[in-house]
Chain A
Amino acid sequence: DTAVSQTPKYLVTQMGNDKSIKCEQNLGHDTMYWYKQDSKKFLKIMFSYNNKELIINETVPNRFSPKSPDKAHLNLHINSLELGDSAVYFCASTAIGTGADTQYFGPGTRLTVL
């Protein structure tokens, strides 16, 4: 049983294109996140959503637009892709107020912009 799933796992595209990455969690969590891992393996928060509402936007270019149709899904749409967007994007989720509030991560989507 997959807890946090992402599609696609790999995404190769040309500069200037628009692409989306989908994330779904079946853990019943109410908060979801997008993280970006760069080529040096550094992980940084991009967005967090709680019950479909945007909570945190960490100075991400507005070419990135997260969308949460319901609390189990958080998709990431990227417009006008640039070379610097090449990275691994991780979705994560947590249940707020459960003590540790451990974030569980999806398998990641490796985006390559040519």
Chain B
Amino acid sequence: AQSVTQLDSQVPVFEEAPVELRCNYSSSVSVYLFWYVQYPNQGLQLLLKYLSGSTLVKGINGFEAEFNKSQTSFHLRKPSVHISDTAEYFCAVSDGYSGGYQKVTFGTGTKLQVIP
């Protein structure tokens, strides 16, 4: 079974400051890892994903994440946030095929609040 833990439900940060949103996962097999962003009353948009290869993954809107297998973490970072980054961020894990189809498990989300 796979699971995702996002310990921080809310993260307030001042505009132009750096931010890190934490994500830890558990899985019995190799994994694919994702970060999604959700703006109010909208669906999810993929920020970045780790499938294999380099552990540092760069995504859209200046975000990046680092896959750390030994710590089973996939923390999301941005060096300087903007007001427009205010949104809910979901970490997700997939162990590839399970029973013939991909199954993705989402964390509970972290609300990033950028303060002017």
A binds B: no
Q: Chain A interface (Cβ within 8 Å of chain B)? A: none
